[in-house]
Amino acid sequence: MSENPKAAGGRDPFRLAVLVSGGGTNLQAIIDRIADGSLGGVSIAAVISTSPGAYALERAEKAGIPGFTVSPKQFGTREDFSAALRAKVDEADPDLIVLAGCLTKIPAALVEAYPNRIINIHPALIPSFSGKGFYGLRVHEAALRRGVRVTGATVHFVSEGLDEGPIILQRAVEIREGDTPEILQRRVMEQAEWEILPEAIRLIAEGRVSVGAEGTVRIRAAGQES
């Protein structure tokens, strides 16, 4: 039996708003896990792109999911962008907001409005190669430059500080001789990101993830009461 009270009995799905900016392979991983039944009771209410023309929006359309663009470029001020993004997210009425390759910094007001209800996937083992300036290929370039033997991906809750929120799941990926940033990025996606992002969503939808007073995450085993 599912521990997601909303998913129980197949009524009332656990609603996601997925925020994207690019290719949307992480979005696709979520769509695929919903389609194959491993994310039972979860549905994507809206895909919101912060970048016009993002391929992720085509993936949403193909899957029959409403897609929207709310880009800072459409607005004169950061405040106006922030208000429009907030309105679009609220309209989707999400249980959880998923940043899946979203390259725009999420306005503080949105983070405050959805405490521990926004998650992000970062393509490194936080706290390594994270924070300001570490996005996209730059993360993998930095890992190769430093010569680390292991990198990976992290799913974490979003807080005010960039990449600083409570860590939910991490998966390690080994670095191989001859890796380029592009090769490493692909391996991190295949072996880590596309696995742990849907997995984190499943755990949260099942009501098994909590954040303690000390700011670290606890994950209850399936069937464990509290």
Q: Which residues contact ligand GRF by CB under 6 A? A: 20, 22-27, 56, 100-101, 121-123, 136, 189, 193
Contacts of 156 (CB under 8 A, 6+ apart): 119, 120, 122, 126, 163, 165, 166, 167, 168
Q: How far is the CB of 57 from ligand GRF (least distance, A)?
A: 11
Name the residue nearer to ligand GRF (CB basis): 96 or 189: 189
Catalytic residue among 33, 122, 156, 202: 122
- Residue closer to ligand GRF (CB basis): 101 or 166: 101
Closer to ligand GRF by Cβ: residue 29 or 110: 29
3-state helix, strand, coil in the chain (%, to 5): 35, 20, 40
Judged by beta carbon, residue 2 or residue 69, the one nearer ligand GRF is: 69
For the question of residue 122 being annotated catalytic, the response is: yes
1 to 4, 5, 78, 118, 206: CA distances (angstroms): 9, 10, 44, 26, 10
The phi-psi region of residue 47 (left if phi > 0; otherwise alpha if psi is between -120 and 50; otherwise beta) is beta
Least distance to ligand GRF from the beta carbon of 56, Å?
6
User: At closest approach, how far in Å is the CB of 55 from ligand GRF?
Assistant: 8
> How many alpha carbons lie under 13 Å from residue 189 in its C-beta half-sphere?
18
Shortest Cβ contact with ligand GRF: which residue? 101
Q: Catalytic residues, which ones?
A: 122
